[in-house]
Amino acid sequence: MTSFCKHQDIEVPDMDTCFFSVGRSRRKQKSVTVEHHYRVDLFTAIIDQQLQELNNRFNEQTIELLKLSTTLDPRNSYKLFNVEDICLLVDKFYPQDFSD
């Protein structure tokens, strides 16, 4: 990141300095570093926004289908393979396609 910023003439902040947010009284602020602000505060807020967006776009049934489908992922020699999840996937979403 540092080399990218330098190449683009973007100022790289000192991550060890105290972070002060705009619009808040400095007396009420807790003392956090710039690094903490970016790694924790912003990261958490962005993850929360993305989860809200996913929850708004997909219903529970679709999310369950996606979660159960991960058991069929061939990466790492089917590391996520789980017989119970496959059976649940078949029973819930494909009951007409498989027999006992």
pLDDT over threshold 90, residue 84: yes
Same domain (yes/no): 19, 64: no
Pull the structure tokens for residue 48. Answer: 């929360």
**pTM of full prediction above 0.85:** no
Same domain (yes/no): 24, 52: yes
Same domain (yes/no): 40, 73: no
Same domain (yes/no): 19, 66: no
- Supply the range of the domain harboring residue 85: 59-100
Same domain (yes/no): 37, 75: no
Same domain (yes/no): 63, 52: no
pLDDT in tens, 2-29: 888 889 999 988 888 898 877 655 555 5
